[in-house]
């Protein structure tokens, strides 16, 4: 009802919602009673075996979409000894007689069902069974041979469109030339495998491209060559040479070692396009995939993070582009998906952010991160010739077909109609079994990788590089019959890992998997001949030289037009009622409370969350970062996030500096050592083939590398997600703002000395670290009052910030700091207000950090922290800071925020605004 109201659909009367379980089999009364006992909770539910006769609409999944609940029903029936032939699940919606049928249809279509994965019908519906008329010998199981030799460019482009390959013409020509040289047709298995391996998603071809910057110095005809972007990031990390880095930009995740004997794996991924067409499944499997990335570097996952970017939840339905889900529905589905996976698998979701902007309306961004730990040991160096190719985990179905190429394409109004096979549905319980099977079994395998984008083709293809492998697809466990060989090879069905196992260890690993209840299939061997041979029964359906598979793709050559941001002409702002604007900022969706979302996640499971996402007197203040530490450990790690795409609209390079600074500032604020910080980078950009867009990307990488060197903080892993654009019903392309997410993971020397942002005690003294400058471009003040034609400059890098952070950390280690909060979105005024909200105490600010009131309150200059100090420690604190701290006021017990030059505000007014904005 509430959702319909938010979307402007008039609703009266009542709506009933029921879960439906379809069971196939000849069940007697006793069988039904036993199943009823596990399907229906008598304290919360009523259940009946009767077929409904009242008016209603029933919804069930489309054929081929994973139905995890049905799997649980089948498992329960087997445990109870109830003989069923099959099961599926659905939902039933019942409206009272006052409902207009057209309104009922609108509610189902816009709020409840998703045609990408579901179908629905008035009355009752019969569940569909995938290809139930097919068996393994059906014609659809055959391999297709494609005569690619001799195709001209038009023919290659037609083939690309027909099979949704998303390849460049140069790449298509390279494939054609290779098979002309081999003097044979290409199979559908081979061309699909090449498309996935060479996709932007898997091969990072823009980040590996040769980039030309034409006329960068104004001289006609002059061209500068930019080193490949990925190489720049790697070289940056190598030049920093941090002693805690164990592995960077290699394998599934980066590996660091802050505390001797314990390594930490770090990874963050994106799942943007899937979340646009099926929000729950897209976010759900995004979390599952990044957990497997950490598992794929032989580490036990201990926590997950999420950064989510949505369109405005108040968008009118009339303004929604064709073929797109409403931002509110996307948001609710994504948050449900994140919560479902983390909570069910038993991992805390501990850090993140939620951003809103109209440019994310049809292309949400979903960044999922994971952190894992392991006892320090050498990384696996296999596979070796003779090792077995072993798949562990879930069965293979049609879900996730061509997911890698789908993620590399621009979406349009038909995306939802054609993306059904690209949608994956997760099963976190199976992934938990994978973790139980593989953690502790590190000596039983020589190599391991996640079976993610590209499915078996990418996982086995990557492992076989330079070694070679031969596999038999008939041995791959399947959810149902009728899959073509290329579908088995390309499917991105979830919860699967591939391991290389020496023959003498296969029995031990098989027993281990059997004991925890996870499936294992031995499907082939690593050969040592450098060829990847895929068989389907007696037929060879693919035979590719791994050198061509991985090195045959032509290197892209791209042109970039570098941006020319304004960095000199500053622009001031005028505000008639600063107190009212401060309340508006606190209520802005980007700043307002995220407690309702955070409470969806179990952020304390495993008992290691020392600093939680929510802190303070009422448990509703936002922590800057979070701290994790094992219950028996003194040391811990802090996690902080930096993201601000609105700066990128004005100055992509400065944005990169700013978000690196924000991520590091967040971990410093909770007690982490600024000299022991590792970084993850995640770029979500528009189409890089547009020179101006690529220029912004080049500038952002420049900023990342320069900032990393300035803070001496290496990048250890990253991910780029490009082509985040949508062709709307107006026929025009719309890109997301240049969005760079930086995750900082830092060493906390003493988890008992962490700091939070809630004001601690009246009478304490408040200090501001860092300089405040007139910098408003991309600011949240402009979002509230409107940006001028000349917005001014983006917050600039602060060369003194690293030294300031070291001084603050030293003061924290000396016990001189009571609370600390970073200054970010909304500026200094918002930061102090948030400290008041968290501590439910007031503050008297009698000294402003800038002579201009609006700059003092609302500029978002980098490198700043507000610190609370007891009066008896003020002298020692100032010595620790070398005098680089501005005394700005004191904490009061009057529950008032009193800032010189503006009207005083009661703390309860701040709290009300902060929570009011969460209801948007």
Which pair of tokens denotes residue 827?
């500026």
CA distance 858 to 510: 61
pLDDT digits (tens, 9 = 90+) for 76-92: 898 899 988 888 999 99
CA distance 899 to 795: 23
Beta carbons within 10 angstroms of residue 897's beta carbon: 27
Mean pLDDT in residue range 251-272:
95
Mean pLDDT score across all residues of the chain: 91
CA distance 152 to 171: 13
Q: For residues 184 and 398, which has the higher predicted lDDT (pLDDT)?
A: 184
Please state at what angle helix 169-182 crosses helix 153-163, rounded to 10 degrees.
100
| The predicted structure's pLDDT at residue 363 | 92
Torsion of Cα atoms, 526 then 527 then 528 then 532, to 10° = -80
Please state at what angle helix 279-295 crosses helix 428-438, rounded to 10 degrees.
0
pLDDT digits (tens, 9 = 90+) for 670-682: 999 999 999 999 9
| The predicted structure's pLDDT at residue 415 | 41
Look at the alpha carbons of 674, 678, 682, 688 in this order and tell me if their dihedral is positive or negative. positive
Lowest mean pLDDT among 34-38, 139-143, 658-662, 701-705: 139-143
pLDDT digits (tens, 9 = 90+) for 341-357: 999 999 999 999 999 99
On the question of pLDDT at 135 being above 60, the answer is no
Is 885 in a helix, a strand, or coil? coil
On the question of pLDDT at 844 being above 90, the answer is yes
| The predicted structure's pLDDT at residue 480 | 79
Burial of residue 41 (number of CB atoms within 10 Å: 0-12, 13-18, 19+): exposed
Mean pLDDT in residue range 301-307:
97
CA distance 102 to 910: 43
Lowest mean pLDDT among 16-25, 58-67, 142-151, 555-564: 58-67
Mean pLDDT in residue range 333-341:
95
Strand segments (E) across 722-805 = 725-727, 733-735, 739-748, 765-769
On the question of pLDDT at 414 being above 50, the answer is no
On the question of pLDDT at 383 being above 80, the answer is yes
Query: CA 89 → CA 63, 126, 493, 706, distances in Å?
Result: 12, 11, 19, 53
CA nearest 488: which of 147, 188, 186?
A: 188
Q: For residues 106 and 18, which has the higher predicted lDDT (pLDDT)?
A: 18
Is 60 in contact with 125 (CB distance < 8 Å)?
A: yes
CA distance 337 to 423: 13
On the question of pLDDT at 367 being above 60, the answer is yes
Chain centre distance of CA 451: 17
Q: For residues 500 and 113, which has the higher predicted lDDT (pLDDT)?
A: 500
Is 679 in contact with 761 (CB distance < 8 Å)?
A: no
| The predicted structure's pLDDT at residue 161 | 93
Residues in the chain: 920
| The predicted structure's pLDDT at residue 746 | 98
| The predicted structure's pLDDT at residue 11 | 61
Binned at pLDDT 50, 70 and 90, residue 577 comes out as very high
pTM for the complete prediction?
0.92
Lowest mean pLDDT among 54-63, 153-162, 173-182: 54-63
On the question of pLDDT at 103 being above 90, the answer is no
Query: CA 105 → CA 95, 276, 330, 570, distances in Å?
Result: 11, 22, 19, 53
Query: CA 344 → CA 240, 336, 340, 517, 603, distances in Å?
Result: 39, 12, 6, 17, 12
Which pair of tokens denotes residue 341?
């996976």
CA nearest 490: which of 470, 476, 500, 501?
A: 476
CA distance 707 to 685: 20
Is 891 in contact with 759 (CB distance < 8 Å)?
A: yes
Residues annotated as catalytic (active site), given as ranges = 201, 271
Mean pLDDT in residue range 532-539:
92
In the chain, the percentage of residues whose pLDDT exceeds 90 is 73
| The predicted structure's pLDDT at residue 322 | 76
Query: CA 110 → CA 4, 102, 324, 822, distances in Å?
Result: 9, 12, 10, 40
Mean pLDDT in residue range 8-24:
78
| The predicted structure's pLDDT at residue 403 | 53
On the question of pLDDT at 26 being above 90, the answer is no
Binned at pLDDT 50, 70 and 90, residue 25 comes out as confident
Residue 614 β-bridge partners = 622
Lowest mean pLDDT among 183-197, 289-303, 410-424: 410-424
Is 707 in a helix, a strand, or coil? helix
| The predicted structure's pLDDT at residue 6 | 57
Binned at pLDDT 50, 70 and 90, residue 13 comes out as low
Which pair of tokens denotes residue 406?
């789908």
CA distance 477 to 495: 13
On the question of pLDDT at 180 being above 50, the answer is yes
Q: For residues 79 and 410, which has the higher predicted lDDT (pLDDT)?
A: 79
On the question of pLDDT at 791 being above 80, the answer is yes
| The predicted structure's pLDDT at residue 553 | 95
On the question of pLDDT at 559 being above 90, the answer is yes
| The predicted structure's pLDDT at residue 4 | 58
On the question of pLDDT at 420 being above 50, the answer is no
Which pair of tokens denotes residue 744?
């900082």
Binned at pLDDT 50, 70 and 90, residue 138 comes out as very low
| The predicted structure's pLDDT at residue 314 | 87
| The predicted structure's pLDDT at residue 677 | 98
CA distance 829 to 346: 38
Is 176 in a helix, a strand, or coil? helix
CA nearest 280: which of 489, 61, 453?
A: 61
Is 725 in a helix, a strand, or coil? strand
Mean pLDDT in residue range 725-742:
84
**Residue-by-residue DSSP string for 380-446:** P----TT-EEEEEESPB-STTTTHHHHHTS-EETTHHHH-GGG-----HHHHHHHHHHHTT-GGG-S
On the question of pLDDT at 827 being above 50, the answer is yes
DSSP code, position 110: I
pLDDT digits (tens, 9 = 90+) for 578-631: 999 999 999 999 999 999 999 999 999 999 999 999 999 999 999 999 999 998
pLDDT digits (tens, 9 = 90+) for 857-914: 999 999 999 999 999 999 999 999 999 999 999 999 999 999 999 999 999 999 999 9
Burial 745-759 (b: 16+ CB within 10 A, else e): bbbbbebeebbbbbb
């Amino acid at each position: 009802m509430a959702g319909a109201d938010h979307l402007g659909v008039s609703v009266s009367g009542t709506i009933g919602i029921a879960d439906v379980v379809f069971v196939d089999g000849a069940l007697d009364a006793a069988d039904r009673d036993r199943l009823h006992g596990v399907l229906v909770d008598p304290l919360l539910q009523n259940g009946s075996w009767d077929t409904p006769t009242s008016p209603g609409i029933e919804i069930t999944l489309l054929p081929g979409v994973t139905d995890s609940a049905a799997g649980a029903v089948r498992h329960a029936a087997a445990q109870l000894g109830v003989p069923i032939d099959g099961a599926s699940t659905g939902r039933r919606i019942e409206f009272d007689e006052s409902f207009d049928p057209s309104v009922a249809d609108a509610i189902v279509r816009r709020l409840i069902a998703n045609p990408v994965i579901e179908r629905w019908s008035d009355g009752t519906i019969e569940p569909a069974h995938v290809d139930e008329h097919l068996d393994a010998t059906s014609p659809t199981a055959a391999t297709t041979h494609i005569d690619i030799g001799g195709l001209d460019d038009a023919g290659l482009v037609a083939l690309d469109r027909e099979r949704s390959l998303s390849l460049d013409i140069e790449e298509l020509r390279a494939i054609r030339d290779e098979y002309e040289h081999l003097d044979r047709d290409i199979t559908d298995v081979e061309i699909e495998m090449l498309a996935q391996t060479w996709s932007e998603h898997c091969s990072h071809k823009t980040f590996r491209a040769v980039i030309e910057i034409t006329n960068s110095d104004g001289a006609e005809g002059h061209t500068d060559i930019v080193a490949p972007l990925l190489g720049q990031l790697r070289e940056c990390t190598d030049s920093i040479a941090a002693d805690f880095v164990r592995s960077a930009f290699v394998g599934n995740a980066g590996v660091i070692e802050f505390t001797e004997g314990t390594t930490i794996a770090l990874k963050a991924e994106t799942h943007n396009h899937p979340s646009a067409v099926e929000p729950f499944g897209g976010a759900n499997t995004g979390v599952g995939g990044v957990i497997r990335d950490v598992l794929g570097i032989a580490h036990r996952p201990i926590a997950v993070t999420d950064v989510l970017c949505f369109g405005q939840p108040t968008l009118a339905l009339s303004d929604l582009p064709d073929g797109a889900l409403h931002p509110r529905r996307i948001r609710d589905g994504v948050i449900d998906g994140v919560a479902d996976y983390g909570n069910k698998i038993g991992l805390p979701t501990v850090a993140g952010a939620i951003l809103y902007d109209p440019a994310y309306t049809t292309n949400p961004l979903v960044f999922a991160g994971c952190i894992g730990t392991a006892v320090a040991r050498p990384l696996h160096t296999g596979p070796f010739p003779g090792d077995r190719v072993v798949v562990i985990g879930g069965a293979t179905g049609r879900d996730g077909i061509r997911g890698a190429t789908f993620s590399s394409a621009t979406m349009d109004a038909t995306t939802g109609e054609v993306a059904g096979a690209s949608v994956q549905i997760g099963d976190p319980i199976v992934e938990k079994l994978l973790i139980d099977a593989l953690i502790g079994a590190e000596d039983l395998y020589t190599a391991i990788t996640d079976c993610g984008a590209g499915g078996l083709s990418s996982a086995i293809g990557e492992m076989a590089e330079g070694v070679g492998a031969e596999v038999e697809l008939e041995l791959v466990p399947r959810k149902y019959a009728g899959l073509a060989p290329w579908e088995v090879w390309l499917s991105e069905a979830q919860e699967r890992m591939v391991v290389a196992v020496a023959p003498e260890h296969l029995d031990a690993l098989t027993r281990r998997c059997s004991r925890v209840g996870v499936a294992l299939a031995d499907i082939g061997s690593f050969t040592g001949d450098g060829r990847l041979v895929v068989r389907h029964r007696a037929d060879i359906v693919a035979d590719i030289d791994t050198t061509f598979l991985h090195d045959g793709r032509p290197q892209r050559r791209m042109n970039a037009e570098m941006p020319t941001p304004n960095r000199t002409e500053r622009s001031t702002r005028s505000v008639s009622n600063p107190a009212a604007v401060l309340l508006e900022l606190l209520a802005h969706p980007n700043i307002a409370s995220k407690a309702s979302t955070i409470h969806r996640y179990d952020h304390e499971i495993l008992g290691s969350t020392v600093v939680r996402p929510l802190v303070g007197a009422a448990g509703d203040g936002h922590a800057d970062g979070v701290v994790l530490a094992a219950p028996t450990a003194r040391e811990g790690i802090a996690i902080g996030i930096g993201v601000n795409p609105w700066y990128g609209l004005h100055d992509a390079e400065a944005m990169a500096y700013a978000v690196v600074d924000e991520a590091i500032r967040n971990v410093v604020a909770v007690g982490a050592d600024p000299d022991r910080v590792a970084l993850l980078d995640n770029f979500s950009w528009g189409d890089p083939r547009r020179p101006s867009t690529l220029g912004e990307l080049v500038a952002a990488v420049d900023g990342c590398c320069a900032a990393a060197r300035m803070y001496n903080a290496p990048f250890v892993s990253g991910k780029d997600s490009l082509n985040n654009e949508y062709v709307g019903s107006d026929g025009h392309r719309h890109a997301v703002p240049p969005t760079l997410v930086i995750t900082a993971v830092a060493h906390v020397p003493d988890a008992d000395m962490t700091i939070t942002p809630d004001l601690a005690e009246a009478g304490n003294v408040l200090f501001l670290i860092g300089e405040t400058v007139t910098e408003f471009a991309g600011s949240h003040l402009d979002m509230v009052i409107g940006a001028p034609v000349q917005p001014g400059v983006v917050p600039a890098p602060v060369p003194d910030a690293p030294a300031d952070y070291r001084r603050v950390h030293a003061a924290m280690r000396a016990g001189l700091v009571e609370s600390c909060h970073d200054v970010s979105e909304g500026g200094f005024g918002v930061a102090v207000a948030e400290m008041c909200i968290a501590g439910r105490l007031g503050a008297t600010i009698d000294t402003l950090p800038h002579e201009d009131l609006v700059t003092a309150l609302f500029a978002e200059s980098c490198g700043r922290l507000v610190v609370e100090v007891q009066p008896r420690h003020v002298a020692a604190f100032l010595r620790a800071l070398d005098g680089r701290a501005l005394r700005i006021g004191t904490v009061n017990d009057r529950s008032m925020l009193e800032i010189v030059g503006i009207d005083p505000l009661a703390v309860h007014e701040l709290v009300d605004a902060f929570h009011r904005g969460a209801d948007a």
